[in-house]
Amino acid sequence: MSRPRIAVLATLDTKLEETRFVADRIRDHGGQPIVINLGTADVDDALVDIRQSEVRSAGGTVSSATDKVALMQSAAAGAATILRDGIHGGAFDAAIAIGGGQGSWMSSAALRDLPVGFPRLLVSTAGRDVGQYARFSDLTSVFSITDVAGLNPILKRVLTTASAGIVGMSKSTTWREPLPSGLSAITVYGITTPGAHVVMGDLAERGIETVAFHANGVGGPTMEGQIAAGTFEAVLDWSITEVADDVVGGVCAAGPERLTSAPRRGLPQVIVPGGIDVVNFGAPETLPAHLWGRRVHAHTPEATLLRTDAAENAEIARLVAARLVSSTAPIHVIVPMGGFSMLSTHDGPLADTRADEAFFDTMRAELASSETVTVTSHPGAINAPEFAHFVAEDFASLVRTHSHPFADATPASASPNH
């Protein structure tokens, strides 16, 4: 059996000793390291398999360029190209990177947009801030504990374990298998979960397989990336709560790409305003001063949910409508007038019929002239079985009637994580 081929990414002009240690440990565990230099200069050492100049050439920048930011961007782009082409050609089974701030930035930019499940690991000094590098990918990170500035007993332990880990991870081949066709995406949020489970069960009985994303500020953008990459044929956006955080300033804001990928790809979808009755904040004392005195609910001691008011719900509706209006595929917006979560049912702690009606009325007015987007209401609450069954039937009908093989071309900027 051939040894697994492990790409090793590092800035060899500053991390040569540490990279050699990792390569040796990979060999100890039965792997074959392929060392890629992301540094600012070529290094004359037998350890190097892919030189700095080759990386920058693949990234579209000549090695004589001097602008540091441009060099970093070129290194990241070049390494990403080398990895993608190598994976496609069977040259790599896994990848590991080590770095401080700049090395972590370049390595992660090269690693994060690879196929979902491809084994990749970043040993970084970033610690708790490593999320800025992984973003919405399944890139695995290991905190280096010490600085990566020369070998020491602690760093050796971390690098030895990481090296063993990536060789072990490289034995997984599931990521090479194509995902099944006909998948649908769905968003789920804690206080809208009971209804979502009913919907997913109904759809499963109809032969529609759903992939759930947690609408917590990370799940929504991750789903958008997967939609853009062509993973899904239809979308049931059951919980668009992240948009409320965008409008009001909560901690689970998802950014300007939320609710844009399916319209851009022309995918049919059903949208339910699950969770827009609340905005996410941390512990009570973190609530901004201008929101003091508003109705809140303690979800956990570290999670405070602020009730949205009528003006905010109208603004949320305008934002959602603006992102849907360009769709060429049918979109059904279905509003549960009995409550947008388990907290805002008519007898719930955050009930506010006026605010809920403001969302519905504004959505209907904003999209009145749309030929592809319809806005309807249902008297039930979002978690009521009768509402869930209604949405499931509507979505299944939409999929049967309007879904199609994926759009003609995946946008060039889309992640190939599928």
Amino acid 148: pLDDT: 93
| C-alpha to C-alpha distance for 277 and 360, rounded to whole angstroms | 12
Under DSSP, the state recorded for 61 is -
Domain final residue pick, 175, 193, 227: 175
pTM: 0.85
**Is residue 414 situated within a structural domain?**
no
Say whether both 73 and 93 belong to one domain.
yes
| pLDDT tens digits for range 121-134 | 999 998 666 667 77
Say whether both 204 and 248 belong to one domain.
yes
Report which of 272, 258, 250 is spatially closest to residue 356, judged by C-alpha positions. 272
Amino acid 216: pLDDT: 93
Q: How many domains does one find in the chain?
A: 2
- Domain with 120 in it: what CATH number? 3.40.50.12020
Burial class (CB in 10 A: 0-12, 13-18, 19+), 174: exposed
Domain residue limits at 344? 184-402
**Is residue 418 situated within a structural domain?**
no
Say whether both 196 and 163 belong to one domain.
no
| pLDDT tens digits for range 236-286 | 999 999 999 999 999 999 999 999 999 999 999 999 999 999 999 999 999
Burial class (CB in 10 A: 0-12, 13-18, 19+), 282: middle
For the chain, give the percent of residues with pLDDT over 70.
Answer: 93
**Is residue 407 situated within a structural domain?**
no
Say whether both 58 and 99 belong to one domain.
yes
Say whether both 93 and 201 belong to one domain.
no
Domain final residue pick, 175, 201, 232: 175
Chain-centroid distance, C-alpha 207: 26
Amino acid 127: pLDDT: 67
Amino acid 130: pLDDT: 65
Say whether both 13 and 138 belong to one domain.
yes
Say whether both 240 and 190 belong to one domain.
yes
Say whether both 204 and 353 belong to one domain.
yes
Return averaged pLDDT per consecutive 10 residues of the chain, 418 residues in all.
92 95 98 95 92 90 67 92 95 96 92 93 81 81 93 97 97 91 96 98 97 95 94 97 98 96 96 98 95 95 96 98 96 98 97 98 98 98 98 97 53 37
- Domain with 224 in it: what CATH number? 3.40.50.12030
